[in-house]
Structure 1
Amino acid sequence: MTDLATRYLGLALRNPLVASASPLSQTAEGVRALADAGVGAVVLPSLFEEQVRQEQLRDLRVTEPHDESFGEALSYFPSRADSAGAGAHYLHLVERAVGAADALGVPVVASLNGSSPGGWAGFAASLQDAGAAAIELNVYLVPGDPHVSGRDVEDWHVEILRTVRDVVSVPVAVKLSPHFSSVGEMALRLDGAGAAGLVLFNRFLPPDVDLETVSVHPHVSLSGPEEARLPRTWIAILRSRVRASLAATTGVATGEDVVKYLLAGADVVMTASALLRHGEAYAATLLAGLEDWMVRKGFASVDDVRGLLAVPPGTDATAYERSAYVSALDGARRTYGDLRMRDDA
């Protein structure tokens, strides 16, 4: 009998498989279906900064003319949580999703998506009040202005996290980009600023080009296993270097992919693409693949597996990864021939 019990963000999970944000979790019924399928936790789709700001502006337009009235007059107006808009709908989703998953002991994680510091992040308090067990902060930021410095971008991430941490007591995870000049230092800064978890990595969705209409074409593609190598590398490096929980995301297609992430040091493994391809019931297949491997290899619990292939504490991670790079090139040369430019090329 294998023990899949896991802790993530200080929460007790029945197993390390987490359904990440996707259309499957955008309704309470969908969350219940994922919980019934066996996942350990569910992340809801994000509420976006732009949606929160629109509601804040609308509320301001309603209340501003009454600023000179006596203070109690403001209590006659609906709070943001009661306003008819995206925020109110999202809070309703959180409440219903928590009710749907609670009977099975499956925590529901709410998600906020933004890119700039500001008061919108304070909406996290409403998510906590609605029953969210934790909050995933998805900072989706592609700095299009070439005058913005890398340090400014990093500081914005930390400021957004601190704004959220100041208004909630539930754990907060940050979904990271892989494109920082120093992912490790960014992880350490967020860890020091109070992130309870780091999710590696966010998938950016750059547009494609439609050659028939000669136009930019927004396009979303599901991830594949080849995309798991980069987050797996950083999880292996960070395993012994941060206090925060580590969540793996991207490239999970089979139970073997779940195992690889756990070996690298992930506390939980998130998936959306596999469940979208095969349906919620595929969660059971992924878990069965994990358990089959554990039985075959003689592991009794996921704690026995986690981090076995992480970069050992005290190791020079830069030299460690460069050694792996050189070894990979040597292997490629033996397979495909000398990769260097030849005189007859």
Structure 2
Amino acid sequence: MSLKTKYLGLDLSNPLVASASPLSAKLDNLRLLEDAGAAAIVLPSLFQEQIEAEAQAIDDRQIYANSSPEALTYFPSAASGPYGVGPERYVDLVRRATEALEIPVIASLNGSSLAGWVDYAGHLEKAGAAALELNMYHVPTNLMETGQDIEARYLEIVDAVCATVNLPVSIKLTPFLSSVGNFATTLVTHGASGLVLFNRLLQPDIDVAHLSLTDVLELSQPAEIRLPLLWTAILAGRTPASLATSTGVTTSADVVKCLLAGADVVMTTSALLRHDISYMKTLVAGLKHWMDEREFASLCEMRGMLSWARSADRSLYTRANYLRILERYADA
């Protein structure tokens, strides 16, 4: 039996990829993930705010360089990210990870404008990253900003990054777009080699006792797999881009679902944080067991079997199925 697959042109031993998380910020954890069966690893995202903070810190130091050496002590170092990895340390993490691991290391950039992205994309390529993931994160609070404005900004970033590096570039999309399918295919025409479905936007809660916002990040729940599963199935076989299904992947059965929908790889973070890194072994073993029971010799035999393109009843992915679900619920 072969679990081999391709993602972004990279040859992988299996379809399980460790997505960006605090686990992938430490070299020791990266080695453990590789030993546990991860076929590739996405490092934590380098955030736009970190890049801008570093650029501002450099400007401040240059302004005061000739005034007094002591003045430099008043300026803080460039901001570190949520995992304690600032821009310079992030590039170093990429370099050390690629030297230490046999599996591909994918770097990640997170932002919504061009600020520093092109330069850092080049640095990450030189550091040895096998691919680059652009983590598109933008909450449109400006009520005058249109969907076309947001899409145009994303395309500008993709154009600039793809023109700068020779690495394959994947786009981690938000599901909150006016037309996911159309924009996904447009990204491919602008140079994207892969699509990650989907990014999770931070959704703050309200503390009614203290009249304040709370920003506790909750791990994804199993039910959240439905949305990325739907769009994986709709896009599979209809775009040349590699497809990675992410969010809500909890069990080996979820991995199987994503592959049947047409995913090239399946990404998980929450499951590893809930259990531990060794849980990756459980996911890989569960996939092998499922395939063995049904006598599938390779992933290509099962991949996309239940995608929209190969479905005998495409209404299951459309409004008609919605009506049937409501009717069954009403009759229960």
> What is the percentage of aligned positions where both structures have the same residue?
49
SS at match of 1:229: helix
Query: How is 1:174-189 mapped onto 2 (pairs within 5 angstroms)?
Result: 174-189=171-186
1:89 matched to which residue of 2? 89
Distance 2:130 2:117 in 1: 20
Letter matched to residue 91 of structure 1: V
CA distance in 2, matches of 1:240, 1:149: 30
With over 3 angstroms needed to count, the CA separation of the structure-2 counterparts of 1:318 and 1:147, relative to structure 1, is farther
Q: How does 1:51-62 map to 2 (within 5 A)?
A: 51-62=50-61
Q: Which blocks of at least 5 consecutive residues in structure 1 are unaligned?
A: 67-79, 336-345
State the match for 1:101 in structure 2. 101
What CA distance in whole angstroms lies between the structure 2 residues aligned with 1:308 and 1:317?
13
Shift of the 53–12 alpha-carbon distance from structure 1 to 2, 3 Å rule, reads same
Amino acid of the residue matched to residue 264 of structure 1? A
In the TM superposition, 1:24-43 aligns within 5 A as 24-43=23-42
Once the two structures are superposed, residues 273-320 of structure 1 have per-residue CA deviations (whole angstroms, 9 ceiling, x without a partner) of: 000011010001011111111111111111111100001269996885
Contact 1:29 1:100 in 2 (8 A): no
Task: Report if the CA contact (8 A) 1:199-1:249 is conserved.
Answer: yes
Whole-Å Cα distance in 1 between the matches of residues 315 and 169 of structure 2?
A: 29
- Following superposition of structure 1 onto structure 2, how do residues 246-261 of structure 1 map, counting pairs within 5 Å? 246-261=243-258
- For residue 187 of structure 1, what is the amino acid of its counterpart? A
The 3-state SS of whatever aligns with 2:132 is strand
Cα distance in 1 between the residues matched to 2:234 and 2:314: 7
Q: TM-score, normalised by structure 2?
A: 0.90
TM-aligned CA deviation for residue 324 of structure 1: 2.3
Which runs of no fewer than 5 residues in structure 2 stay unpaired?
66-77, 79-84
Match of 1:217 among 209, 214, 219: 214
Query: What corresponds to 1:11 in structure 2?
Result: 10
Give the AA of the match of 2:241.
A
Pairwise CA distance, 1:58: 3.1
> Aligned pair count?
314
State the shift of 1:330 in Å. Answer: 2.6
Between 1:278-287 and 1:48-57, the stretch displaced more is: 48-57
Instruction: Give the superposition deviation at 1:95.
Output: 1.0
Deviation at 1:163, TM superposition (A): 1.3
C-alpha distance in 1, partners of 2:63/2:302? 58
The RMSD of aligned alpha carbons is 2.1
Shift of residue 121, structure 1, vs aligned partner: 3.4
Equivalent residue in structure 2 for 1:137, among 128, 134, 137: 134
- For 1:34 and 1:19, the matched residues in 2 are separated by 8
The 1:259–1:203 alpha-carbon spacing in structure 2 relative to 1, beyond 3 Å, is: same
Inter-partner Cα distance in structure 1 for 2:60 and 2:210 = 41
Partner of 1:21: 20
Query: Per-residue deviation at 1:63?
Result: 5.3
Is the CA contact (8 Å cut-off) linking 1:53 and 1:120 kept in structure 2? no
Query: Is the Cα–Cα contact under 8 Å of residues 48 and 115 in structure 2 kept in the other structure?
Result: no
Alignment partner of 1:327: what SS?
helix
Q: Which has the larger radius of gyration?
A: 1
DSSP-derived class of the 1:286 partner: helix
Name the CA distance, whole Å, in 2 between partners of 1:116 and 1:186: 18
Report if aligned partners of 1:118, 1:160 keep a CA contact under 8 Å in 2: no
Cα deviation, residue 208, structure 1: 1.0
SS in 2 for 1:209: strand
